[in-house]
Amino acid sequence: AGDVAGVDSGGEDEAEGEGVSADIDMLDSLTGQPLPEDELLFAVPVVAPYNTLTNYKYKVKLTPGSGKRGKAAKTVLNMFLRDRSATNHERDLMRSVKDQNMARNIPGKVKLSAPQLQKLKK
């Protein structure tokens, strides 16, 4: 009886291990630096410490301030859409992200900082 239980739990561990492996493969396919030959399927808004985003193609620094998060999300999206290095497909993917989904993870009162932001205000 002990051997059967060992076989059963081993099968469950293998199935669970395959599921974890599939999850890891999916996470490895996400990138902040898409290459020209990459096939882009989605744009995923990410809020993370700025230091972890240093290699991302599109990023903006959020600091505590007086701005509303919905307006901040729209401003950031506008800035990214005007970026000359953005391809038409990247712009379409960014437009497909709803403002509500983008603003959801941004803190309540924020100030935006990015080199392109000054050009946008002019």
- CA 44 to chain CA centroid, Å, is 4
Going by pLDDT thresholds of 50, 70 and 90, the confidence category of residue 2 is very low
Mean model confidence pLDDT for the chain: 79
List the domain boundaries for the chain. 1-30, 50-121
pTM over 0.85: no
Please report, for residues 16, 49, 120, the alpha-carbon distance to residue 19 in angstroms, rounded to integers and kept in the order given.
5, 29, 45
pLDDT of residue 92: 93
d(CA 42, CA 46): 12
* pLDDT > 80? residue 5: no
Whether 48 and 105 have beta carbons less than 8 Å apart is answered as no
